[in-house]
Amino acid sequence: MTDVSKVYPGGSVALQNVDIHIEPGEFVFVVGPSGAGKSTFIKMLFREVLPTTGSIFVNGVDILSLTPNEIPYMRRQLGIIFQDYRLLPDRTVYENVAFAMEVIETPRRKIKRRVLNVLDLVGLRHRANAYPNELSGGEQQRIAIARAIVNDPIMVIADEPTGNLDPETSWDIMEIFKEINAEGTTIVMATHDKEIVDAMGKRVIAIEDGHIVRDEASGVYGYEL
Ligand code: ADP
Ligand code: ADP
């Protein structure tokens, strides 16, 4: 991001003159108080929110100059994970994950092998035929992660992925993120989880009032809870 600012209609200034470079393979936490601009920052990475000024390149591509039909292709290179999981309720675990491959027209035989593979990675192959409402919150988030990584994204973007989970379940999620990152996938995660940020020793970008106030290679959460 180069000199990125965001003013929402209505005048709320969410980010101001943000310059951030993230290398391939990095693991980055985005922290800061409520309303600081974290979600805006995260959403700009996949063009969910457009900046008012500035430029954003993802994987060498100027994502602000994409045409409408290029946007889905760009997003397919990213794995996006939300606090509230966003699984399809009327499809099984297997179908939720397979769907992400069907939309890019992957051959059926390849789909089966890969889906079972990522379900193994998140430890939920035995739940392949369950429906989302039969799973605990932590299990649903693991399925959302499986779906996010099934097409081998270059970057996983997560907005408060452990926000609804208890500490132990949150650590299970972080173990999966560590494994994904160890395979070379960039991870950018907004979080309020002080314990996780402090224990992981990863890069921390702190945003306050729309400004980057801290950017540390092996940082801490840095706020009182
Ligand atoms: P955080 O994720 O750190 O809580 P956000 O990026 O959600 O912060 O919000 C930053 C600022 O922008 C806040 O003042 C918020 O009220 C405002 N904001 C966020 N989204 C919108 C929107 N869609 N319309 C208007 N203002 C918004
Ligand atoms: P947590 O301790 O994380 O809240 P739960 O108690 O919700 O987890 O779930 C524990 C186990 O029971 C999980 O394996 C989950 O898949 C299973 N389970 C939970 N609710 C249902 C349900 N309605 N139908 C079938 N299995 C369920």
Domain ranges across the chain: 4-216
For ligand 2, the distance from its centroid to the CA atom of residue 150, given in whole angstroms, is: 24
Q: Ligand 2 site: residues with CB under 6 angstroms?
A: 134-139, 169
Grouping H, G, I as helix, E, B as strand and the rest as coil, residue 162 is coil
Query: Taking 80 as the threshold, does the pLDDT of residue 225 lie above it?
Result: no
The Cα–Cα gap between 170 and 189 comes to 13
Q: What would the mean pLDDT of 84-105 be, rounded to a whole number? A: 97
- How confident is the model over 191-209, as a mean pLDDT? 97
The pTM assigned to this predicted structure is 0.89
- pLDDT > 90 fraction of the chain, expressed in percent and rounded: 99
Closest C-alpha to ligand 2, atom 16: 135
Starting from the CA of residue 223, give the closest ligand: 1
Query: Using one digit for the tens of pLDDT, what is the confidence trace for 141-193?
Result: 999 999 999 999 999 999 999 999 999 999 999 999 999 999 999 999 999 99
Please state, in angstroms and rounded to a whole number, the distance separating the CA atoms of residues 201 and 42.
20
- Give mean pLDDT, residues 91-117: 96
Going by DSSP bridges, is the β-strand pair 13-18/57-58 parallel, antiparallel, or unpaired? Answer: unpaired
CA of 121 to the centre of ligand 2 (A): 19
CATH topology of domain 4-216: Rossmann fold (3.40.50)
Q: Which ligand is nearest to the CA of 167?
A: 2
Residue in 126, 134, 168 to alter for ligand 2 test, most ligand atoms within 8 A of Cβ: 134
> What is the interface pTM, i.e. ipTM, of the complex?
0.76
Average pLDDT for 128-141: 98
pLDDT at 224: 84
Q: How far apart are CA 102 and CA 168, in angstroms?
A: 33
Q: What is the pLDDT of residues 49-79, one digit of tens each?
A: 999 999 999 999 999 999 999 999 999 999 9
173 C-beta neighbours (distance < 10 Å), count: 23
